[in-house]
């Protein structure tokens, strides 16, 4: 389930934003299907677990950063009654897919989708009760700045919840996992999407992403406290939850 970045070997970092938009414009139509196929359906369970940690109350306002096709936003609306959600993404085709999906959802009326960059969120300080980001941190150019922006726009005492693909902790499981994401996933992703390069980026981005311990440190330095880490499915995905200092 790649997100917000093309193949690292082929990209000039200065052109990253443009390349990201072009790639995800191309694969938006198959994005949800491939997320489910490549994760054996675990992506939905991972999202639901992350959402359960948001601690929202009726009347609350949540922000989903890099919302993509709006799946986290939709599940937030399902899980928490009486809240409103804003989803931001800088890929317009992804937002178009999200709007089409939410138009048929009974909870869609509580979700607003707007263009926005994770590193320059278009909101005032202390606006939201919770901020989520799913499967996107691996692909931002500055993880610390992304967390800094999320901490800025969440209210004191509010939560920032991050869900990301990570490296399994067990050596045996990690070996099997690497074989799958390096050898098998790119073939499946390329066959279905017609964009193999997007799915060869997947294992590269996982290997380059900081460890859960390092992410916890970055969150703490970015203004969040009481950061908790939850490793899911042998560590193939990790949820971090931090609270904004008062």
Domain count, the chain: 1
110 within some domain: yes
What's residue 239's pLDDT?
98
Q: Return d(Cα 114, Cα 121) in angstroms, integer.
A: 11
Closest CA to 59 of 29, 85, 87: 85
What's residue 117's pLDDT?
93
- Going edge to edge, which strands form the sheet with 84-89? 111-115, 84-89, 61-65, 128-134, 154-165, 237-244, 224-232
- With cut-offs at 50, 70 and 90, classify the pLDDT of residue 142: very high
60 within some domain: yes
β-pairing, 224-232 vs 237-244, is antiparallel
23 within some domain: yes
1 within some domain: no
Distance separating the N- and C-terminal Cα atoms of the chain: 35
pTM for this prediction: 0.90
Q: Return d(Cα 87, Cα 91) in angstroms, integer.
A: 12
The residue-averaged pLDDT of 45-73 equals 97
Q: Return d(Cα 34, Cα 16) in angstroms, integer.
A: 23
What's residue 58's pLDDT?
96
96: CATH: 3.40.50.150
30 within some domain: yes
165 within some domain: yes
158-202 per-position pLDDT tens digit: 999 999 999 999 999 999 999 999 999 989 988 888 878 778 878
5-55 per-position pLDDT tens digit: 332 333 344 465 666 555 666 667 777 888 888 899 999 999 999 999 999
What's residue 110's pLDDT?
97
What's residue 11's pLDDT?
36
- With cut-offs at 50, 70 and 90, classify the pLDDT of residue 3: very low
- With cut-offs at 50, 70 and 90, classify the pLDDT of residue 139: confident
- With cut-offs at 50, 70 and 90, classify the pLDDT of residue 153: very high
The residue-averaged pLDDT of 108-135 equals 97
201 within some domain: yes
Q: Which burial class, exposed, middle or buried, applies to 229 when counting CB atoms under 10 A from its CB (0-12, 13-18, 19+)?
A: middle
What is the domain range of residue 37?
A: 8-244
99 within some domain: yes
């Amino acid at each position: 389930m790649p997100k917000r970045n093309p193949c690292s070997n082929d990209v000039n970092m200065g052109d990253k934003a443009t390349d990201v938009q072009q790639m995800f414009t191309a694969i938006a139509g198959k994005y949800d299907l491939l997320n489910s196929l490549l994760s054996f359906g675990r992506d939905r369970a991972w999202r639901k677990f992350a959402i359960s940690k948001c601690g929202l109350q009726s009347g609350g306002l949540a922000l989903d950063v890099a919302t993509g096709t709006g799946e986290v936003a939709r599940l937030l609306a399902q899980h928490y009654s009486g809240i409103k959600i804003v989803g931001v993404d800088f890929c317009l085709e992804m937002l178009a897919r999200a709007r089409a999906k939410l138009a048929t959802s009974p909870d869609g009326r509580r979700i607003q989708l707007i263009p926005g960059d994770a590193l320059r969120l278009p909101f005032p300080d202390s606006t939201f009760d919770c901020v989520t980001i799913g499967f996107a941190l691996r692909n931002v150019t500055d993880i610390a700045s992304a967390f800094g922006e999320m901490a800025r726009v969440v209210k004191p005492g509010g939560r920032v919840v991050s869900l990301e693909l990570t490296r399994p902790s067990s050596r045996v499981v990690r070996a099997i996992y690497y074989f799958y994401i390096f050898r098998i996933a790119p073939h499946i992703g390329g066959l279905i999407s017609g964009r193999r390069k997007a799915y060869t980026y997947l294992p590269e981005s996982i290997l380059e992403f900081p460890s859960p311990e390092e992410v916890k440190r970055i969150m703490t330095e970015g203004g969040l406290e009481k950061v908790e880490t939850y490793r899911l499915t042998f560590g193939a995905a990790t949820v971090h939850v931090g609270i904004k200092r008062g």
